[in-house]
């Protein structure tokens, strides 16, 4: 077959997902094989976590829009009812596409002072 060229070379860029953190509006990128927690830490921000294995529930966040693959997690750390209500463990969750998650004071979300902050649009 002639033509082509859209295969592997361009696939990587299109696989990047945008994760928006609410209410701050911060946006980070995530790769398909990367957990939400790993993406946050790679971006230079920090968020509360514990075991990194889906057993403690310390990294629990709520998905506001989009969907995740929950990965392996203890039913004691994340119940089926919590999953149905939008909760996930950031140490196990992988974004299936663009995602918006809620981080609260309990998550202890922090960004370094040098991190670019969203600015309101000019009127």
DSSP E strand stretches across 1-123: 17-22, 26-30, 60-65, 68-69, 87-89, 94-95, 99-102
pTM of structure? 0.79
8 has pLDDT over 50: no
pLDDT tens per residue, range 9-46: 444 556 899 999 999 899 999 999 999 999 999 998 88
Give per-residue pLDDT as tens, 47-102: 999 998 999 999 999 999 999 999 999 999 999 999 999 999 999 999 999 999 99
pLDDT at 36: 96
Q: What domains lie within the chain, and their CATH numbers?
A: 17-107 (3.10.20.30)
């Amino acid at each position: 077959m002639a033509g082509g060229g859209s295969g592997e070379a361009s696939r990587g860029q299109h696989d990047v997902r945008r994760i928006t953190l609410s209410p701050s509006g911060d946006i980070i990128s995530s790769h398909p094989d990367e957990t939400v927690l790993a993406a946050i830490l790679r971006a230079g921000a920090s968020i509360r976590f514990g075991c990194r294995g889906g057993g403690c529930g310390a990294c629990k966040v709520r998905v506001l829009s989009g969907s995740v693959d929950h990965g392996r997690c203890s039913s004691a750390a994340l119940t089926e009812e919590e999953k149905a209500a939008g909760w996930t463990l950031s140490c196990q969750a992988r974004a299936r596409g663009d995602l918006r998650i809620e981080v609260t004071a309990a998550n202890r979300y922090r960004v370094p002072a040098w991190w670019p902050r969203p600015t309101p649009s000019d009127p």
